[in-house]
Amino acid sequence: MNKVTEMKQSKTAILAVLSLVVIASLMVAGCTNTGETPGETTLTVFTAASLTGAFTDIARAYEAENPGIKVDLVFDGSQTLRTQIEQGANADIFVSASTKHMQALQAAGFMDNDTVVNFVGNSMALIVPIDNPAKITGLADLAKPGVKIVIGTKDVPFGDYTRQVLDKLAADPAYGEAYREAVMNNVISEETAVSNVVPKLALGEADAAFVYKSDVSKEDLTKVTRIDIPEEYNVMATYPLGILADSAHKAEAKSFVEFIRGPVGSSILQDYGFDPLPAGS
């Protein structure tokens, strides 16, 4: 074999090796799991459980208008979502049912603070099963012996607001401290997410529960009856939302936030019983 032939074979071998390296690199890049298909952006939105119905509809409406964006909704109690973010969970937007949990994340540097706004309000209501076996007609009946009540844990917003309602009732001589104590003694379950409450009443496991007004959907009215809490005892919950400081999709996240606060998003929130807040609230 002459030198020219040897050189040609050597070059061919080198090119073959380089080709294999390039192919391997492309395969590694192609196997990297970004959670997105080519040309698609996925927004991960950590959302308070009480917004499940409304945000599911809002996300669908947004995706219909923005085919290149997929909205991945993660629903849970605000406290749980906050803890997951603090422990490194990847999210683009946090939607909380409490300013307390949002402020904690802001103080720790997890949020892009300039994007955090209060966008909707909610209030508390009492619900009972449709057949109402305990014959509950108002707040006073909750103190009767044997009534089975479901509330939220003190760490989740709807549980905190429930306790605020009971504090207001306890401060009124018409109810008093004994009333609050009797109601708390009747609590059989404290839930970490408001979405767990309605099923317990529908299955007959409880006689009454404190929930957000918005939690009683049209479909739920076949299972439970809502009893409004008088304004002087009620508590208005304020919901903030904002973009995470480490979000990789801040432009798309901003667009989705604007959609939530725009005409379509606000209309859906109102349909679910929320009270959209004007800009600057």
* pLDDT tens digits, one per residue of 205-215: 999 999 988 87
pLDDT at 31: 40
- In contact, 71 and 43? CB cutoff 8 Å: yes
pLDDT at 219: 78
pLDDT at 164: 96
Domains and CATH numbers, the chain: 41-121+238-276 (3.40.190.10), 123-236 (3.40.190.10)
pLDDT at 216: 77
Q: Residue 276: beta bridge partners?
A: 120
- In contact, 170 and 180? CB cutoff 8 Å: yes
Which residue is it, tokens 């002087």?
A: 232
* Pairwise CA distance, residues 241 & 39, whole Å: 27
Greatest Cα-to-Cα distance within the chain, rounded to the nearest angstrom:
110
Which residue is it, tokens 């208008």?
A: 65
Measured between alpha carbons, how far is residue 84 from residues 200, 205, 210 in Å? 26, 30, 26
Low-confidence ranges of the chain (pLDDT < 50): 3-5, 7-8, 14-15, 17-36
